C-alpha cells in the first residue's frame, strides 16, 4: 500500500489537504548509500598534490553530487585554466578504484532502510552522477543490485545535478509520477535536482550540513538512513 505525501513537500502534513500516493524512493549513491565521499576527496587531493595543487573543502563540496565532467569544471574554475585536469582526474580515478576494491563501504542502516521500504511496498531506484556501469558494479559488489527496480547513471542524461534529468529518467523507467517519488540525497546539488523534478527531497547530510537553501527545499533533513523510515511513516500517518 503506498504512503501519502503533501504535494510539493516541505510543509507539515495536514488532514483535509490534497495528497498524492508515494510509490517510489529514489536513492543517490555516493555519500548516501556508500561512505565514499571522503575517499573521493582524498583521491582528488592526492592527485592534485602530485601536480602542485591543494584542494580546499569549500571547492570540493561545490563539486559533490555532480558528474565527473561538471566536477572538473568546478575545479578548473576555482584553481585556474592551467590546471592539468585530465591527468589529475585519471590519477584520481585510479586511486579511488584502489580504495573501493574489493567493495565500497556501506553507510550505516542502509540494509535496514531497504528492508523497511520493501515492507511498505514501494519501488526503488538509484540515480547517480556516476556512470551506470560503475553504479551497477558497486551495487553488485555488495549484493544490492537486485534490491533496486531501476538504475540510472550520469552518462545516460544530457545534464547532471542540479538539473532534474537523472531523477526524471528514473521515474520514467519505473512509469511513476514525479510527485509520487521521494528522493534521498546527501548533497545540495541533489536536493536542488529533486526539487526541480517535482519530487519530494529528503536530505541525509554527509560531508556538509544543509544550507538554508537546502532546508527550504527539503521535505525533511534526517541524521541517518534509518530515520528515513520515520519520515515515510509520518507521511503515511497523514493518510485520509
Measure Cα distances from 122 to 2, 41, 110, 215, 217 in Å: 7, 33, 15, 25, 23
Residues paired with 127 in a beta bridge? 152
The reply to whether 77 belongs to the active site is no
Catalytic residue among 18, 28, 35, 82: 28
Grid cell digits, residue 201: 527531497
The reply to whether 28 belongs to the active site is yes
Quote the CA–CA distance of 106 and 108 in Å, as a whole number.
6
Catalytic residue among 30, 165, 186, 206: 30
User: Read out DSSP for 6-75?
Assistant: ETTSSSPP-TTS-EEEE-EEEE--BTTTBS-HHHHHHHHHHHHHTTT----HHHHHHHTTS-HHHHHHHH
List the catalytic residues. Answer: 28, 30
Amino acid at each position: 500500500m503506498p504512503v501519502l505525501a503533501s504535494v510539493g513537500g516541505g510543509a507539515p502534513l495536514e488532514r483535509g489537504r490534497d495528497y498524492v500516493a508515494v510509490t517510489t524512493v529514489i536513492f543517490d549513491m555516493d555519500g548516501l548509500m556508500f561512505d565514499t565521499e571522503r575517499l573521493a576527496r582524498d583521491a582528488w587531493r592526492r592527485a592534485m598534490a602530485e601536480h602542485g595543487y591543494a584542494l580546499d573543502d569549500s571547492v570540493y563540496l561545490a563539486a559533490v553530487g555532480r558528474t565527473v565532467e561538471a566536477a572538473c569544471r568546478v575545479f578548473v574554475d576555482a584553481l585556474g585554466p592551467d590546471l592539468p585536469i585530465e591527468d589529475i582526474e585519471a590519477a584520481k580515478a585510479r586511486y579511488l578504484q584502489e580504495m573501493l576494491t574489493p567493495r565500497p563501504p556501506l553507510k550505516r542502516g542502509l540494509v535496514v532502510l531497504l528492508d523497511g521500504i520493501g515492507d511498505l511496498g514501494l519501488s526503488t531506484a538509484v540515480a547517480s552522477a556516476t556512470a551506470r556501469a560503475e553504479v551497477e558494479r558497486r551495487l553488485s559488489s555488495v549484493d544490492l543490485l537486485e534490491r533496486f527496480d531501476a538504475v540510472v547513471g550520469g552518462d545516460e542524461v544530457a545534464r547532471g545535478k542540479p538539473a532534474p534529468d537523472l531523477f526524471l529518467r528514473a521515474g520514467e523507467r519505473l512509469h511513476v509520477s514525479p510527485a509520487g517519488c521521494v528522493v534521498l540525497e546527501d548533497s545540495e546539488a541533489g536536493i536542488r535536482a529533486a526539487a526541480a523534478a517535482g519530487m519530494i527531497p529528503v536530505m541525509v547530510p554527509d560531508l556538509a550540513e544543509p544550507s538554508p537553501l537546502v532546508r527550504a527545499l527539503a521535505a525533511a533533513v534526517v541524521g541517518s538512513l534509518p530515520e528515513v523510515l520515520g519520515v515515510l511513516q509520518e507521511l503515511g500517518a497523514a493518510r485520509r
